Structure 1
Amino acid sequence: MPAKSTDIHGSKVFSVPLSSPSLAELVSVFARIGCLSFGGPAAQIALMHRICVEEKRWIDEDRYLHALNYCMLLPGPEAQQLATYIGWLLHGVRGGIIAGLLFVLPGLAVILGLSATYAVYQEATLVAGLFFGLKAAVLAIVVEAVIRIGKRALKTSFHRSLAAAAFFALFFLSLPFPLVVLTAALAGLIHARVTKPAATVIMVEGTVRPPLARQIAVFAFWILLWLVPLPILWLVLPQTALPDIQVFFSKMALVTFGGAYAVLAYVAQVAADHYAWLKPGEMLDGLALAETTPGPLVLVLSYVGFLAGFRQSGALDPLVGGLLGGLIAAWATFIPSFVWIFAGAPYIERLRGNRFLSAALSAITAAVVGVILNLAIWFALHVVFHTVEPASLLSLGWLRLSMPQPVWASLDVPALAIAVLSAVMIFRFHLGVGKTLIAAGMLGLAVRFLL
Structure 2
Amino acid sequence: MPVYFLKDLIIYFLKLGTWGFGGPVALVGYMHRDLVVDKKWISEDDYKEGLALSQLAPGPLAAQLSIYLGFVHYRLLGATLVGIAFVLPSFFMVLAIGYAYVSYGGLPWMQAVFYGVGAAVIGIIAMSSYKLTSKSLGKDKLLWIIFIALAVTTFITEEEILWVILLAGVAVWFAKAPPRWLSSGANGMFPVMFVQLQPIATESKLWEIAWFFTKAGAFVFGSGLAIVPFLYGGVVKEFQWLNEQQFLDAVAVAMITPGPVVITVGFIGYLVAGVPGACVAAMATFLPCYLFTVIPAPYFKKYGKNPAIKAFVDGVTAAAIGAIAGAVLVLGKRTLTDLPTVLLALTTIALLFKFKKLQEPLIIAVAALIGITLKLML
Q: Are positions 1:249 and 2:213 aligned together?
A: yes
Larger RCO, structure (CA 8 Å, separation 6 or more): 2
| Distance change (3 Å), C-alpha of 1:136 and 1:284 | farther
Alignment of 1:324-403 (within 5 A): 324-351=276-303, 352=305, 353-378=309-334
| Of 253-262 and 346-355, the range deviating more from structure 2 | 253-262
- The question of whether the paired residues in 1 share the 8 Å contact of 2:68 and 2:297 is answered with yes
| Distance change (3 Å), C-alpha of 1:86 and 1:167 | closer
| Distance change (3 Å), C-alpha of 1:264 and 1:181 | same
- The question of whether the paired residues in 2 share the 8 Å contact of 1:27 and 1:98 is answered with yes
SS in 1 for 2:108: helix
| Distance change (3 Å), C-alpha of 1:137 and 1:268 | farther
TM value normalised by structure 2: 0.72
Which has the larger strand fraction? 1
Alignment of 1:433-444 (within 5 A): 433-444=360-371
Structure 1 unmatched runs, 5+: 1-16, 171-176, 202-208, 310-320, 385-415
Among 109, 115, 136, the residue aligned to 1:129 = 109
| Distance change (3 Å), C-alpha of 1:418 and 1:304 | farther
The aligned amino acid for 1:423 is A
- The Cα offsets for residues 304-355 of structure 1, whole Å up to 9 and x where unpaired, read as 3333x1xxxxxxxxxxx13233222211221123212321111111122442
Alignment of 1:43-442 (within 5 A): 43-45=26-28, 48=31, 60-123=43-106, 127-135=107-115, 137-139=117-119, 141-142=121-122, 145=125, 149=129, 152=133, 156-157=144-145, 159-170=147-158, 177=159, 181-185=161-165, 187-188=167-168, 191-192=171-172, 198=178, 231=200, 235=202, 238=203, 240=205, 242-268=206-232, 270-280=234-244, 282-307=246-271, 309=272, 321-351=273-303, 352=305, 353-378=309-334, 416=338, 418-430=340-352, 433-442=360-369
- The question of whether the paired residues in 1 share the 8 Å contact of 2:235 and 2:242 is answered with yes
| Of 107-116 and 40-49, the range deviating more from structure 2 | 40-49
- The question of whether the paired residues in 2 share the 8 Å contact of 1:425 and 1:436 is answered with no
2-structure distance, mates of 1:87, 1:73: 18
| Distance change (3 Å), C-alpha of 1:196 and 1:25 | closer
Q: Shift in Å at residue 47 of structure 1?
A: 5.0
- The Cα offsets for residues 220-277 of structure 1, whole Å up to 9 and x where unpaired, read as 9xx9xxx99x85xx64xx253x444333332232344332234334434553344434
| Distance change (3 Å), C-alpha of 1:279 and 1:437 | farther
Q: Shift in Å at residue 379 of structure 1?
A: 5.2
2-structure distance, mates of 1:339, 1:192: 28
1-structure distance, mates of 2:180, 2:224: 31
2-structure distance, mates of 1:270, 1:139: 28
| Of 60-69 and 333-342, the range deviating more from structure 2 | 60-69
| Distance change (3 Å), C-alpha of 1:362 and 1:55 | closer
SS in 1 for 2:295: helix
2-structure distance, mates of 1:426, 1:200: 50
| Of 297-306 and 354-363, the range deviating more from structure 2 | 354-363
2-structure distance, mates of 1:294, 1:26: 18
- The Cα offsets for residues 100-121 of structure 1, whole Å up to 9 and x where unpaired, read as 1111111111122112212332
Which has the larger helix fraction? 2
| Distance change (3 Å), C-alpha of 1:40 and 1:341 | same
| Residue matched to 1:404 | none
| Distance change (3 Å), C-alpha of 1:243 and 1:146 | farther
| Of 44-53 and 360-369, the range deviating more from structure 2 | 44-53
2-structure distance, mates of 1:199, 1:267: 41
- The question of whether the paired residues in 1 share the 8 Å contact of 2:116 and 2:368 is answered with no
CA RMSD of aligned residues (A): 4.4
Larger Rg: 1
SS in 1 for 2:178: coil
2-structure distance, mates of 1:269, 1:96: 31
Structure 2 unmatched runs, 5+: 353-357
Q: Shift in Å at residue 426 of structure 1?
A: 1.6
2-structure distance, mates of 1:331, 1:260: 17
TM value normalised by structure 1: 0.62
